[in-house]
Amino acid sequence: MSLAAARLDTTFAALADPTRRAIIVRLAQGPASVGELAQPFAMSQPAISRHLKVLETAGLISGGKDAQRRPRRLEAQPLAEATAFLEAFRAFWETRFTELDQVLEDLKAQTNEGDVP
């Protein structure tokens, strides 16, 4: 397995959890402390810290130091790699849907032709 494939696996594994996805959504608004990130969840701060560790290991977030705060920030590169991977499939499905639209139009035209006396 290539290094890029391993990074992609780690990114998707980290994003598989809804709590971690919610944390990513929150961090897209700007840096936040662990306490701020834990606030909307009914779980302990240590549980949130474990989620943050997974996200950090995947390279999706990074920690900083701002006086007594240790804000977490969103890192764009892993998300850009995941997006690039998914874009290839988006193009594939767009082509398939275009082909399906054409088949449906052909069927509709055949049905309309059959209805005319």
Number of structural domains in the chain: 1
Q: How far is CA 9 from CA 6, 13, 28, 34, 93, in A?
A: 5, 6, 21, 25, 22
Q: Specify the pLDDT at position 45.
A: 85
Under the banding of pLDDT at 50, 70 and 90, the label for residue 17 is very high
pLDDT of residue 89: 87
Residue 114 pLDDT grade (very low, low, confident, very high; cuts 50, 70, 90): low
For residues 5 and 29, which has the higher predicted lDDT (pLDDT)?
29
What percent of the chain shows pLDDT beyond 90?
63
The partner residues of 72 in beta bridges, in order of sequence, read 32, 63
CATH number at residue 81: 1.10.10.10
User: pLDDT per residue over 38-86, tens digit each?
Assistant: 999 998 888 999 999 999 999 999 987 665 678 999 999 999 999 999 9
| Residue 49 belongs to domain spanning | 3-115
pLDDT at residue 101 is higher than 70? yes
Q: What is the DSSP letter of 72?
A: E
